[in-house]
Structure 1
Amino acid sequence: MTAVTVPCSESWNREQRAESPTQRLDRNWLCLLQELRVVLTGVQLLTGFLLTLPFQQRFSSLDGNMRGLYLATVACSIAATALLTAPVALHRLVFRRHMLSWLVTASHRLTVLGLLLLGAAVSGVATMIFEVLAGLAAGVTAGAGILTTWVLLWLALPLLARRGTRADVL
């Protein structure tokens, strides 16, 4: 992949998009909300599924390690849900306060952290399912494979793609 250098100034947004700094923030906020709409249903379903597991008959047969993995997984999923829904609460609480720049920046950071925890939760779920159905080796292999896939797609690929570029805001 070839990186594209983006000038670090408002002039690029004005020249290329004919938008003001406020319009750029509005666009960034709307893009972030659209991304959250995509991921929120999945994280909420995952969290709901995990919260029902202790009430299943076979849950009591899990050993201490599996219970620990379950607790870590459900904690990651709940934390991801909180972080990925936080931008909406932030928006409500700073609405009409002219804090859009802060809102976009804070929401971006919360979303990135929420996505990382979601990746950890999905890896934990895969580990649990494969271990229960196919044994410890299959569980560890599945969990490690899925975690590796998340890291490659959600961290390595975007970080590699953005090499040599700079953010368009200071």
Structure 2
Amino acid sequence: MTRSNASYRREEEDSGERLDRHWNELLQELRLAQTGTQILFAFLLGIGFQSQFQAADQFTHHVYAATLIASALAVALFLAPISFHRIVHRQGLRDRLVTVTDRLTQIGLAFLVVAMAGGVLLALDVVLSRPVALGLVTGILVWFAIFWLVVPLVVRARSAES
């Protein structure tokens, strides 16, 4: 069995190189997540000031509040690594930086899923009946869970078996 160049290079890395690679990978992932989350957050901020929204029912206002809060928390978690890095820069804490950033990103993704579901629910509730909108959002949450959690866990489990 031959090893791929990537796996061979990983075996040759020292811990500093591995931490640098993980840090760079996390930064690339965060760039994608930050942009979309910030756009969603900005969009949500504008909704609350629309006259039609002011007339919406209490359910819509609660969904909006939860969605806006989840979006703000996701933005905070996706931006936190920047502040963390600035504070611990050149302190020899790259291992902790990578570990903490990984956790912040995972939690941020959870809040992003909540914000996405809330945003979709707000939109679908306008054009469909509420039970249909809730059913579709439930399906969307399952979709996220499959591709963000189940598929990676299955791949990881199969990789561990071989």
Normalising by structure 1, we get a TM-score of 0.85
**Is 1:95 paired with 2:83?**
no
Higher relative contact order (CA 8 A, sep 6+): 1
What pairs with 1:1-170 in structure 2 (closer than 5 Å)?
Answer: 16-163=10-157
String of CA shifts for 1:3-51, please: whole Å, max 9, x gaps: xxxxxxxxxx786442110000000000000111111110000001111
String of CA shifts for 1:78-97, please: whole Å, max 9, x gaps: 10000111111100010000
CA RMSD of aligned residues (A): 1.6
**1:159 Cα deviation after fit:** 1.7
Of all paired residues, the percent bearing the same amino acid is 36
Indicate conservation of the 8 Å contact 2:10/2:18, yes or no: no
Indicate conservation of the 8 Å contact 2:70/2:112, yes or no: yes
Give runs of ≥4 in structure 1 deviating > 6 Å. none
Unaligned residue ranges in structure 1 (runs of 5+): 1-12
- Size of the aligned set, in residue pairs, is 154
Unaligned residue ranges in structure 2 (runs of 5+): 1-6
**1:152 Cα deviation after fit:** 1.0
**Paired residue secondary structure (1:97):** coil
- Which range moved further: 16-25 or 59-68? 16-25
Q: 1:15 to 1:71 in 2, by over 3 A?
A: closer
Q: 1:25 to 1:68 in 2, by over 3 A?
A: same
Name the amino acid aligned to 1:50.
Answer: L
Q: What is the CA–CA distance in structure 1 between the aligned matches of 2:117 and 2:158, rounded to whole Å?
A: 31
More helix, by proportion: 2
**Paired residue secondary structure (1:74):** helix
Indicate conservation of the 8 Å contact 1:14/1:20, yes or no: no
**1:52 Cα deviation after fit:** 0.9
